[in-house]
Structure 1
Amino acid sequence: MAELNLNEHISKIHKAVEEWLSQENQVLWKAIDQTVDDGLFSQHDIEFQLSVLRENISNGDIQEWVNQSELSDRKNAKGQKVLCLHAGNLPLVGFQTALGTLLSGADYHGKLSRKDPYLLSSFLKEVKKAGLDQQIRYSTDLNAFKDLRANKVVFAGSEESVPEVKGKILELKAAKEHAEYIIRTAKFSIAYLDDWNEETKQELIEAMLRYGGKGCRSVAVVVANVGLKKVKEELEKAIREFWELNPQHQKPAPDLQYQYAYNAAVQRSQLWLEDFLIQESEELPDTDFTVNWVEGGEEKVRELKTHFGKKVQSVYSAGKKIAGIETEELAKAQRPNLWWKPDGVDVVEELIR
């Protein structure tokens, strides 16, 4: 592996991130305005995401990530070409992958999502000014990476899309024939509530509804010690209060009326919120804007996690830990550390391996 002056490298990146996140950064403000004006994400969701990142940086998350991944002067990815295909379902959802690639020392080649083209590029513009000893290229067009012959590819998407994506990359020779693919396919997370109280309720609402309930860290299955019927009224009141304080970007109303009518016909307990549905069900939550509520305990969590398999990103607990299952705090669902592991994978570790 190539030699990397790690302390200097990390210092440059840390400074660039801080300057990008500065309230005085007009490039970032312009990117925020463009994103909102184009109707891609709400101002509230963007500001929430940026506030989380500012907190992460001030808490020393960059250095902690470096320490956990065992990145060093000699153990790094300098000289490697990494192609990152970023998702666009949440504001700045690709930031962690971009930052991890830069930290590793690899050359970064980023295919930005057309659903979130401005925010991440504003960060990359700042980093390009930092004088890093690595190439930084990005575009919203995959064709821009023709003949790149990357060593590794990082992308998130559905399992069904993987063959098509790989085929397109090989056709363009954007990656080497035997390049390593770091693929993330998890879809949603599970929350376990062993105690229903005001704090738990607020944490759950944030976890379910932030960013319109999209993203693999968003809770789509709730296992609770109480049935939905018992908490339905207070939950509805709290959700409407959340929406008043955090107005979402206006989206077409999802077609949930059929499911609502079916639930009513079979007398299934549900909470209908026009553009959002919470229902008592143990089925796979494969419909947007839907959360399935299951009354049960730890054994039910284990059963569902095993049943849903790789589609589950994280299991959150609002209290007691679950024996045999790695859990995260429910309060951290939409506030993850920079070094959290999508699909259980540390991108820096994978790139320097």
Structure 2
Amino acid sequence: MQIKDRINAFVKLGKFLREIKVEDEIEDEIEMILRKAEAENGWFTQENIKFTLKSWGEALSKENLQQWVSNYDIEETEPKQVAIIMAGNIPLVGFHDFLSVLITGNKVLAKLSSNDKTLLPFLAKQLISIEPEFKNYIELTEGRLKDFDAVIATGSNNTARYFDYYFGKYPNIIRKNRNSVAVLTGNETKEDLKNLADDIFTYFGLGCRNVSKIYIPEDYDFEPFFKGMFSWKEIIHNHKYINNYDYNKAVYLMDSFPLLDNEFMLLKEDSGFSSPISVVFFERYTSKYAVKKMLEAQSENIQCLVTKAGLPNEIPFGKAQNPELWDYADGVDTVDFLLKIH
């Protein structure tokens, strides 16, 4: 199977995903898959799964795939077996690793997360029906991993220590906790803040690309911010989300922490990054230079920077959950890593 065949297969998969009519009645098999995924993980709502499928449908265009692989010299060599330990915090969170391994001509050995064990097998089945040769390149398991040449593992700071212990002798990418932040100047438009709400609330804030913290000027007026958040007010009707909101609010109030509350999200002044569900941390800054220095010092904890303040590596409001194929988690080039496995 040549690189052009692999690209064409993923282009066809993208077309399949784009043709899923998320607003209308969808095919019985797809609807069954979506309901099964939601039953297995209450955070995987129909809306979130459909958003993921739509996003990947748009990403897997011929133009995107060709632009992405054109940055590399992908030779046809003996395929390596690459173990991928999937996270399960948001739907299909490990799909980019799956794609990267296959597009480089290597074989996937994926350990599925117990929180997301339906969606990837569904897409793998579609991919194999498009290009049957992929059948020999894809193995999905919930059991123990064995017989592999390299590892890509995603987890928490805690699990990363275990990954390092068990897989340190193999070529590896081991990802830890990261969060995304936004820098506000007070000059944001209504549309900017509405887009920021998408960056905060999509997937209930469970992804590493979700904004979990904002940096604000010392004299920041929160009223426009809360107006921008209002488009997501219905999120409070999700029973898992409201349980977290009520719990975190109670804990903070018992400890006498000052909070800003709009009845579906909490703002807490905090120097940390990993805010609980329904909570966004904020920290004040004195100047653009000061916030730039803070971000540089915390670069190991930051996945994305959302702002239009003219800071290095910033992305626009509303784009945190719509990365390009060449936007790599933790800034580690997965394709370059895969091409260097010996």
SS at match of 1:114: coil
How is 1:191-230 mapped onto 2 (pairs within 5 angstroms)? Answer: 191-194=182-185, 195-225=187-217, 227=219, 230=221
- State the 1:132 CA deviation: 2.9
- State the 1:204 CA deviation: 1.4
Match for 2:270 among 256, 268, 281? 281
Provide the residue aligned with 2:133 in structure 1: 132
C-alpha contact (below 8 Å) 2:104/2:339 kept by paired residues: yes
C-alpha contact (below 8 Å) 2:17/2:56 kept by paired residues: no
Provide the residue aligned with 2:121 in structure 1: 121
What is the root-mean-square deviation of aligned Cα atoms in Å?
A: 2.7
1:261-304: per-residue Cα shift (whole Å, max 9, x none)?
4455xxx4x32256642123334445443212223342233233
Of residues 113-122 and 55-64 in structure 1, the stretch that sits farther from structure 2 once superposed is 55-64
Provide the residue aligned with 1:93 in structure 2: 93
Provide closer, same or farther for how the CA distance between residues 114 and 40 of structure 1 changes in structure 2, counting only shifts above 3 A: farther
Provide the residue aligned with 1:82 in structure 2: 82
SS at match of 1:189: strand
User: What residue ranges of structure 1 are gaps of 5+ in the alignment?
Assistant: 171-176
Provide the residue aligned with 1:15 in structure 2: 12
- State the 1:109 CA deviation: 0.7
Cα distance in structure 1, aligned partners of 2:5 and 2:27: 23
Partner AA of 2:216 in structure 1: A
SS at match of 1:178: coil
- State the 1:347 CA deviation: 1.4
SS at match of 2:126: helix
Cα distance in structure 1, aligned partners of 2:82 and 2:27: 28
SS at match of 1:163: helix
SS at match of 1:182: strand
Partner AA of 1:304 in structure 2: M
- State the 1:108 CA deviation: 0.6
Cα distance in structure 1, aligned partners of 2:112 and 2:95: 10
Cα distance in structure 2, aligned partners of 1:227 and 1:125: 54
How is 1:253-332 mapped onto 2 (pairs within 5 angstroms)? Answer: 253=244, 255-256=247-248, 257-262=250-255, 264=257, 268=258, 270-273=259-262, 276-296=265-285, 297-317=287-307, 319-322=308-311, 325-332=312-319
Match for 2:326 among 336, 339, 343? 339
- State the 1:71 CA deviation: 4.1
Cα distance in structure 2, aligned partners of 1:80 and 1:329: 37
* Structure-2-length-normalised TM-score: 0.85
Provide the residue aligned with 2:3 in structure 1: 6
C-alpha contact (below 8 Å) 1:42/1:247 kept by paired residues: no
Cα distance in structure 2, aligned partners of 1:49 and 1:227: 37
Of residues 149-158 and 32-41 in structure 1, the stretch that sits farther from structure 2 once superposed is 32-41
C-alpha contact (below 8 Å) 1:223/1:295 kept by paired residues: yes
Displaced runs of 4 or more, over 6 A = none
Cα distance in structure 1, aligned partners of 2:215 and 2:89: 25
1:46-84: per-residue Cα shift (whole Å, max 9, x none)?
12222222222347322222123x14234x6x4201000
* Greater relative contact order (Cα < 8 A, sep 6+): 1
Provide the residue aligned with 1:48 in structure 2: 51
1:279-331: per-residue Cα shift (whole Å, max 9, x none)?
233344454432122233422332332343412112122x2321xx3222222
Cα distance in structure 2, aligned partners of 1:249 and 1:61: 38
Cα distance in structure 2, aligned partners of 1:9 and 1:283: 42
User: What residue ranges of structure 2 are gaps of 5+ in the alignment?
Assistant: 21-25
Partner AA of 1:116 in structure 2: D
Count of aligned residue pairs for this structure pair: 327
Provide closer, same or farther for how the CA distance between residues 99 and 247 of structure 1 changes in structure 2, counting only shifts above 3 A: farther
Provide the residue aligned with 1:239 in structure 2: 229
Cα distance in structure 2, aligned partners of 1:286 and 1:40: 17
Of residues 126-135 and 100-109 in structure 1, the stretch that sits farther from structure 2 once superposed is 126-135
1:74-101: per-residue Cα shift (whole Å, max 9, x none)?
4x6x420100011110111111111111
SS at match of 1:291: strand
C-alpha contact (below 8 Å) 2:84/2:152 kept by paired residues: yes
SS at match of 2:35: helix
- State the 1:205 CA deviation: 1.0
Match for 1:33 among 10, 35, 39? 35
Provide the residue aligned with 1:173 in structure 2: none
